[in-house]
Amino acid sequence: MKQNISGVDDQTELDLVKSLEERVKELNCLYGVSKSLSSNDKSLDEVLNEVVNIIIPAFQYPELTCVRIIINGMEFKTNPFQETQWKISSELSTPEEKIGVLEVFYIENVHNELGDPFLKEEKDLIKYISIELMRFLRRKKAETLLKESEENLRLILTSAAEAIYGLDQDGNCTFCNPACIHLLGYENPEELLGKNMHNLIHAHDQISPNTGSCPVDQSYKTGERVHSDNIVFWRKDGSYFNAECWSYPKIRDGEIVGAVVTFVDITKRLDIEKDRDRLFNFSIDMLCIAGFDGYFKKLNPAWEKTLGWTTTELTSKPYLEFVHPEDRKSTIKAVEGVEKGHNILKFDNRYLCKDGSYKWISWNTYLMPEEGLVFGVARDVTELKKNEEALKENEKKYRKIFENVQDVFYQTNLEGIITEISPSIERYSNYKPNELIGKPVQLVYSDPEDRNELLKAIEEDGEVSDYEVTLVNKDKDLLNISVNAHYLFNSQNQPIGIEGSLRDISDRKKVELALRKSLEEKELLVKEIHHRVKNNLMVISSLLNLQSRYIKDKKALSMFRESQNRAKSMALIHERLYRSTDLKSIDFGDYIRTLAMDLYRTYVTEPERVKIDMNVENIMIDINTAIPLGLIINELLSNSMKHAFPGKKEGEINLEFGIKDDEHFLIIRDDGIGFPSDVDYKNTSSLGLQLVNTLTRQINGEIELDATNGTKFIIKFKEMEY
């Protein structure tokens, strides 16, 4: 019996020892986990990898144990690791969300007496560790948020354009951002930290920290927020600048522990305000700022210059008292619109001048709702109003002329729709103006294509003058109309239509037709005269030719032949005029070529020995010049052909005709034996040369002779007006 009791006691002692050993392992585990989780110099990954390995020795069968922690999808597990069906787990969660799980696995099935491989104490251990893990994770998250908040605050302070610094309750600097250091002219924060800021920023003025006149001091002494729109701050180098400053007290547990000060350099802003005030004061427009209470708050000098009232006089009364009684109702309505947020554009009313007269003022306004003010720009438009009235009077006069003028005045838009037409259209077309206004202008054209041609002409030149078209009246009768028209432009110089006048020229067309018929009859008569003159000259030439057959004397025969050629040259001109549409002038270049070849065939019997070359321009010459000039060519050219190349001498005759420097020129040259040196061509018994000189004077020309190499006659003249 004692032996059994002793055996039981031994077993109990063994179980107790074993239980104590398990508890020791659990305590060691908890200590190790707690120590690891409380470490501040390790990362989250390092801590969690450490924890999974600390847990293994706390279990009955560490050699069969593996552990895994899953947090937000990230896994931290022992190595080796095997996921099996024998596991215990504990969620890592908050009331709002599940963030992970702690899991312990046995890689083999190990059953205790209850069939569960895990002890109750092991399960409790896992739950406790999961609670510690959640505390750790919450702390880490808070630390991360705190670091982020501190970093954000640091970034805000560093990147802020405004200067910011902190003060303790004694006015000493606790922090400062780069903008503060820069604006005050220092190089690093150490020059400011711990220093009394009042002594630095007011080092060169008379502001004492005890006077209460410094807004920065007031804030941390009284606990009130203080704003100063213009205060002088001094820099390290002794220079100063104007600043706008805000000071906010720091209060902890009901006690003032310091202040945070923000300031900006407003030097540029003050300069801009000075420039703005300068522009305000020197503007030729009447600039003002008015309140909703009906009074002017600020006026520039242009008001006094325009109305004669001083600024004090204008601001001491409601501005409605200066408005013309007839304009007050409309002015009140306009002001009510401004108060509702509607800006005024080009509102006109009359203002009383100091001399008792009134001037028209045109207004544009801009609402400044935050200040409860209205900015106004006014301009004296009295002269403009007078001009408008004069323009209206002129328009009335124009309308009266428009309605009574004999010609038809009209306007169309770019689509060809009639927008205006004078009453005189009824006399021409039997249409009343209201029957045509709003209708397409093609309605009165006999052929719509005429309208298109008219538009093309206007597009090319911008206008047309005395452009003839054919219109139809209401009874479909044709009307010959002369059109003067041009583009109609708006104020931006863009075409918006066409305006012009119409005149009935049917009677004129009848007269022109009669004149044209009479002219055609006269042209036929003149042609007939030229034809008969040409025939008579040819008869004379033929008679001379017949008579020459009976003359044996060579000299007399030569004279007969020369007379015959002269008659021929004149007949040739009349033949050209008869065949030409122009009965007053002929193409003289064509005439020269024909005359020269006729003479060449007459006098040159051996064309291979004597050549002729012509360089003549086709120039129209009046008949009164053409006849004498043709006779000159006849004389000089025939002389060269007869006398320049005696015997078997070879050579060339050149003939030129043209215009140079507004002067006609005729050149006849040959490279023959030359002009006799003992003969004066201007004073000779030769009938031909006498004729040439006489005819040259007749056309107011000049003749020159060059006998250095053959014979060369040069005749220059300006064609006369006959």
If you average pLDDT over every residue of the chain, what do you get?
82
CA distances from 348 to 340, 377, 381, 505 (A): 19, 12, 9, 50
- Contacts within 8 Å (CB) and 24+ apart, 4-11: none
Q: What average pLDDT score do residues 464-470 get?
A: 87
Residue % of the chain over a pLDDT of 90: 20
The domain 405-504 is placed in CATH, from the list 1.20.120.1770, 3.10.290.10, 3.30.450.20, 3.40.50.720, at 3.30.450.20
Calpha distance 669→649 (Å, rounded): 16
* Site of tokens 């003032």: 256
Calpha distance 544→579 (Å, rounded): 26
Q: What average pLDDT score do residues 109-138 get?
A: 82
CA distances from 268 to 18, 217, 246, 275, 706 (A): 85, 26, 19, 10, 91
By three-state DSSP, how is residue 210 classified? Answer: coil
The reported pLDDT for the residue numbered 42 is 84
- Contacts within 8 Å (CB) and 24+ apart, 329-332: none
Mean pLDDT is lowest, of 27-36, 265-274, 435-444, 571-580, for 571-580
CA distances from 30 to 16, 132, 315, 621 (A): 21, 9, 85, 133
Work out the pLDDT band at 579, boundaries 50, 70, 90: low
Which fold, 12-142?
Beta-Lactamase (3.30.450)
The reported pLDDT for the residue numbered 637 is 86
Residues 6+ apart with CB under 8 A from 545: 564
pLDDT beyond 60 at 4? no
Mean pLDDT is lowest, of 86-95, 194-203, 556-565, for 556-565
Calpha distance 39→342 (Å, rounded): 67
Secondary structure letter of residue 79 according to DSSP:
S
CA distances from 559 to 544, 627, 688 (A): 10, 20, 10
Work out the pLDDT band at 578, boundaries 50, 70, 90: very low
Work out the pLDDT band at 44, boundaries 50, 70, 90: confident
* Site of tokens 């954000």: 152
Q: What average pLDDT score do residues 249-259 get?
A: 88
Residues 6+ apart with CB under 8 A from 434: none
pLDDT beyond 70 at 321? yes
Q: List, for residues 327-380, the tens digit of each pLDDT value.
A: 999 999 998 888 888 888 889 999 999 999 999 999 998 888 877 888 889 999
CATH architecture of 585-722: 2-Layer Sandwich (3.30)
Calpha distance 85→79 (Å, rounded): 18
By three-state DSSP, how is residue 241 classified? Answer: strand
By three-state DSSP, how is residue 194 classified? Answer: coil
Mean pLDDT is lowest, of 20-24, 364-368, 570-574, for 570-574
Work out the pLDDT band at 2, boundaries 50, 70, 90: very low
Calpha distance 65→60 (Å, rounded): 9
CB 611 within 8 A of CB 549: no
Work out the pLDDT band at 583, boundaries 50, 70, 90: low
Calpha distance 477→173 (Å, rounded): 104
Work out the pLDDT band at 528, boundaries 50, 70, 90: very low
283-386 is classed CATH 3.30.450.20: yes
Q: List, for residues 272-319, the tens digit of each pLDDT value.
A: 778 777 877 777 888 998 998 999 998 989 999 999 999 999 999 999
C-alpha of 469 from chain center: 41
The reported pLDDT for the residue numbered 568 is 59
Nearest to 104 by CA among 45, 53, 138: 53
Task: Note whether 160-269 and 585-722 share their fold.
Answer: no
Q: What average pLDDT score do residues 441-447 get?
A: 86
Domain ranges of the chain: 12-142, 160-269, 283-386, 405-504, 505-583, 585-722
Most confident of 90-94, 287-291, 630-634: 287-291
The reported pLDDT for the residue numbered 704 is 93
| The token pair that represents 439 in the structure block | 């209708």
The domain 160-269 is placed in CATH, from the list 3.30.450.20, 3.30.1490.20, 3.40.50.2300, 3.40.640.10, at 3.30.450.20
CB 106 within 8 A of CB 8: no
Q: What average pLDDT score do residues 429-458 get?
A: 87
CA distances from 543 to 104, 524, 572, 688 (A): 152, 28, 17, 21
* pTM of this structure: 0.36
Work out the pLDDT band at 11, boundaries 50, 70, 90: low
Residues 6+ apart with CB under 8 A from 677: 707
pLDDT beyond 60 at 89? yes
Q: What average pLDDT score do residues 116-124 get?
A: 84
Q: List, for residues 153-180, the tens digit of each pLDDT value.
A: 777 777 777 899 989 988 899 989 999 9
pLDDT beyond 80 at 603? no
Calpha distance 474→621 (Å, rounded): 51
Q: What is the dihedral of CA 622, 628, 634, 636, to 10 degrees?
A: -120
Element (H, E) at 226: strand 226-234
Residues 6+ apart with CB under 8 A from 84: 105, 106, 107
